[in-house]
């Protein structure tokens, strides 16, 4: 009984908090600054309403629920890729000259990680007789590999993007990174042990998502402190100064 109450709490409460985030983003104008994250938040709430409604019908958590969950997971995954790309664009926007190279870096990293993710999907075990669940979690694990890789790249290059840890973008990336990492581990457990619906794994994943929602709330419901940059002009004809500035940028 206690676990059932905890399970429903971890399922319902984060989505109520997402509603508060959605409302706050509309009021503060962050909806225009991060439209893909706004869409992701809205879809997560919609998906929860649909799945919760199905769970209260005679279908309960049967085949119809699994199909709806699989479709919702696929759509949510695509939107999350949009959020990650949105974060890349947000950071590169501070450096217009790097906008083109930044896009090429994102595409190159995506292709490389996509090959790794495809290998992970091919080598994924399939101990469960339920083909739909196997396909869902195998795809989820491959996608989690891809998303974790992109977010690690994002954090690795954050010093060049002047990414302040108090910024809204950092909070979004941090929450996504934690959730993608735990989802990768959970999908691996589900596939290797065929432990679909394992209560301990589900509760851990749901608790992690709750934590990520709290992180988003902490960052998005507070005003972002403006970061100031002091640029030192370089003389047009002083080659020694130009060389010094370029070396400083390369070895930052």
pLDDT tens track for 2-32: 768 899 999 999 999 999 999 999 999 999 9
Count other C-beta atoms under 10 Å from residue 212's C-beta.
21
Reported pTM? 0.77
pLDDT in tens, 170-198: 889 889 888 888 887 887 776 666 555 56
| Contact predicate 207/183, CB 8 Å | no
Choose the most confident range, by mean pLDDT, from 95-109, 156-170, 201-215.
Answer: 201-215
Q: Could you tell me which of 3, 1, 41 has the C-alpha nearest to residue 216? A: 41
pLDDT score recorded for residue 231 = 42
| Contact predicate 14/210, CB 8 Å | yes
Count other C-beta atoms under 10 Å from residue 19's C-beta.
15
Q: What does the radius of gyration of the chain's CA atoms come to, in whole angstroms?
A: 21
Q: What is the DSSP string of 105-123?
A: HHHHHHHHHHHHHHHHHHT
What band does 37 get if pLDDT is binned at 50, 70 and 90? very high
What band does 48 get if pLDDT is binned at 50, 70 and 90? very high
Sign of CA dihedral 138, 185, 51, 78: negative
Q: Higher-confidence residue: 243 or 141?
A: 141
| Contact predicate 187/141, CB 8 Å | yes
Domains assigned to the chain: 2-250 (1.20.1070)
């Amino acid at each position: 009984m206690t676990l059932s109450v905890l399970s429903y709490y971890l399922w319902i409460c984060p989505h109520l908090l997402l509603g508060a985030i959605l409302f706050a983003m509309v009021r503060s104008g962050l909806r225009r600054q991060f439209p893909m994250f706004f869409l992701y938040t809205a879809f997560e709430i919609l998906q929860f309403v649909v799945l919760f409604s199905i769970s209260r019908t005679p279908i309960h958590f049967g085949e119809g629920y699994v199909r709806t969950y699989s479709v919702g997971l696929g759509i949510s995954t695509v939107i999350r890729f949009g959020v990650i790309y949105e974060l890349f664009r947000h950071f590169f926007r501070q450096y217009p000259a790097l906008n083109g190279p930044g896009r090429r870096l994102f595409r190159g990293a995506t292709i490389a990680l996509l090959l790794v993710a495809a290998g992970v999907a091919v080598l994924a075990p399939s101990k469960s007789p339920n083909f739909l669940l196997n396909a869902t979690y195998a795809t989820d694990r491959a996608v989690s590999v891809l998303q974790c890789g992109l977010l690690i790249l994002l954090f690795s290059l954050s010093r060049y993007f002047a990414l302040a840890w108090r910024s809204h973008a950092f909070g979004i990336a941090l929450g996504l990174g934690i959730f993608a990492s735990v989802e990768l581990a959970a999908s691996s457990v589900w596939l290797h042990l065929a432990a679909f619906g394992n209560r301990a794994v589900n509760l851990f994943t749901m608790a992690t998502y709750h934590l990520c929602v709290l992180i988003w709330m902490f960052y998005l419901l507070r005003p972002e402190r403006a970061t100031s940059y002091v640029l030192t002009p370089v003389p047009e004809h002083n080659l020694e100064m130009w060389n010094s500035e370029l070396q400083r940028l390369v070895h930052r």
